[in-house]
Structure 1
């Protein structure tokens, strides 16, 4: 049987999977790389969060946010911009088992890959109405 984790244990579990994990002074935040993907995690009383950097730019923020809004399974996911980079943020439940944590992490990684893909045949940006471009 898989053991249950609280938010602090979840971050410790995650730190063992990150390359070059770096903790904040209070042990509330963690940074590192999950494989090749930069990651940030933070502990809150109502559950930990994990942000994965997307290999897309600011121009894709609208598409990514609309994709998240249209995906029922992404209720605990959000996108945010920091330093010109787009991040996929997920809020995890405050208490979950190791198996649940592993599955949710794999799901978030798969979602990050999906959001990085540009739709095929994406129309070119249209000029603003009234412009001569």
Structure 2
């Protein structure tokens, strides 16, 4: 992808879905700490900061998805953050005394962010969309 690209549908849809999912999970972390901490084995004090960061990250992804031109560095940043999140989540599997439910919960989170890192990377590598016919000529309205 060049410095900017105009309205690549796959990338926009991926960023939008990642943003909504990230923000929704952030709300769950903020509101569900009281009933999630014990069943998952996660420290209660981690829920609010993680939730707040996720809501902000979700908003940033949503903003990025709606921009007229999506900057390549911004997509690379989204891929990098998702990749770092997956690695951090996997590290927590070793570092924390999680319950079985907590392990499944974190594995699902690692799969989620890894999938979005891959989709965003693929979306950033697609050529910008054009509205050309097969001959390379712009299509004429019918």
Q: TM-score under structure 1 normalisation?
A: 0.32
Task: Flag the structure with more relative contact order, 1 or 2, with Cα contacts below 8 A and sequence separation at least 6.
Answer: 2
**Larger Cα Rg: Structure 1 or Structure 2?**
2
Q: TM-score under structure 2 normalisation?
A: 0.31
More strand by share: 1
